Amino acid sequence: MRTSELYASSPVRAALGRTLRPGGEALSRRMMVLADPEPGSLALDAGCGCGATLGMLRLKGAKAFGLDLSAAFLREAGGDGHAVARADLASLPLPDASLDLVVCECAWNLTDKERTLAEFSRVLKPGGMLALSDIYTRGYRSGEWPLRCCFAQATDLQTVMEQMAGAGFEIDVVEDHTPLLKKTAADFVFRHGSMHGFWQAVTGDEDLAAAACAASKESKPGLFLLLARVFGK
């Protein structure tokens, strides 16, 4: 199953709506409060999905545009009048030091993470801000996740901090929003009877569903939100 198929699947869309990830609009609103983009500032939503956060950035007066790999999600975002284009976050079609803000919500873990962070660092102006939310792990799991999803390449927070520093970022704020992840999981259970039921509905495969539940139990996923500024390596 390809990543975009997983996020486009009806069990995921029915539970998550236009924000294709745990935390929903509540987490994006918190991100907007912290990042507080200036009117007229140039902002990228990296892995914009259906464009829900592009709307929030535009309400703040930012000149916002989105990049994503999925043609279907880009059509949805474009249909709402957002400026979007297809690109891999690990190879941004943007000039150096051109952006004030990069927002990336549950897309980083799906990419070539080191290259993507290096690209965010390259395209931000000195002092420019990265607002990043994604899954992290609180447990240990050896071996790969059975599915390509935002849990698969998640690491512990210490590793995230080291990767940020390695790409030239200084952290301003880190917040733990794991309760929002638990709320999303509870919604999946409510709709499908259990997490196994949810994964079974998404994948149509008993073995994959069992493997996803086991992987989740071992890795103990959490949800972080961080803001960081780039000052060069």
Residues near ligand SAM (CB under 6 A) are 3-4, 7, 19-21, 47-49, 52-53, 68-70, 73, 88-90, 105-107, 110-111, 150
CA distance 33 to 38: 11
Smallest separation (angstroms) from ligand SAM to the CB of 226: 15
| Closer CB to ligand SAM, 1 or 90, in the complex | 90
Smallest separation (angstroms) from ligand SAM to the CB of 28: 7
Smallest separation (angstroms) from ligand SAM to the CB of 68: 4
Residue with smallest beta-carbon separation from ligand SAM: 49
| Closer CB to ligand SAM, 74 or 170, in the complex | 74
Count of C-beta atoms within a 10 Å radius of residue 26: 12
| Closer CB to ligand SAM, 40 or 135, in the complex | 135
| Closer CB to ligand SAM, 12 or 170, in the complex | 12
User: Which residues make Cβ contacts (< 8 Å) with residue 143, sequence separation at least 6?
Assistant: none
| Burial state string for 180-219 with b = 16 or more CB within 10 A and e = fewer than 16 | bbeebbebbeeebeebebbbbbbbeeeebbebbbebbeeb
Smallest separation (angstroms) from ligand SAM to the CB of 231: 25
Smallest separation (angstroms) from ligand SAM to the CB of 2: 9
| Closer CB to ligand SAM, 21 or 192, in the complex | 21
Say how many residues make up the chain.
233
| Closer CB to ligand SAM, 151 or 207, in the complex | 151
CA distance 174 to 76: 31
Count of C-beta atoms within a 10 Å radius of residue 58: 18
Smallest separation (angstroms) from ligand SAM to the CB of 58: 15
